[in-house]
Amino acid sequence: MRFLGNFLWFVIVGLISFLAWVFVGLIWCITIIGIPFGIQCFKIGSFVLFPFGKTIQTNFDSHPIANIIWLIFFGWEITLGYVLVGIFLYITIIGIPFGKQCFKLASLSLLPFGAQY
């Protein structure tokens, strides 16, 4: 079941999301100050490819200043997008597993520094 979920996710959403996260990460890595944020984009991008069967553990205390900067500037917008898509997917029975993955990605994109999966 995990293989089927990951395959469908990859075909429908995963590849496009991965490419978007990598592109944003590359843009962040152009500047020296943005390199830590770019690395987090790459981490989220690698998770977005195949999220079924993985769990996320966020640790705000690991890097609180970086998490606050991320949260203020772009974390809440990305999280809001994932939450809205997750709510939309929960409307149908077939979309519930994909909605769960969106909520998982929302927690990762809210506080990515120190998160482990």
Task: Look at residue 117 in the predicted model and tell me its pLDDT.
Answer: 79
2 is written with which tokens?
């995990």
Q: How far apart are CA 22 and CA 4, in angstroms?
A: 24
What secondary structure letter does DSSP report for 116?
A: B
Percent of the chain residues past pLDDT 70, beyond the cut: 100
Instruction: For residue 4, give every residue at least 6 positions away whose Cβ sits within 8 Å of its Cβ, in sequence order, or none.
Output: none
Separation of alpha carbons 38 and 31, rounded Å: 10
Task: Mean pLDDT check: name the lowest of 21-30, 53-62, 96-105.
Answer: 53-62
Average pLDDT for 11-28:
92
Q: pLDDT grade, residue 13 (50/70/90)?
A: confident
Full DSSP string of 26-82: HHHHTSSTTHHHHHHHHHHHHHHHS-TT---B--GGGSHHHHHHHIIIIIHHHHHHH
Can you tell me the mean pLDDT for 16-28?
Answer: 93
Position 26 confidence tier, pLDDT thresholds 50, 70, 90: very high
- Spatial separation of the C-alpha atoms in residues 47 and 54, rounded to whole Å: 8
pLDDT at 103 > cutoff 80:
yes
pLDDT on residue 114: 86
What's the pLDDT tens digit per position in 30-86? 988 999 999 999 999 999 999 998 888 888 788 899 989 999 988 899 999 999 999
Token pair of 21, please? 């996260």
Q: What is the mean pLDDT of the chain?
A: 91
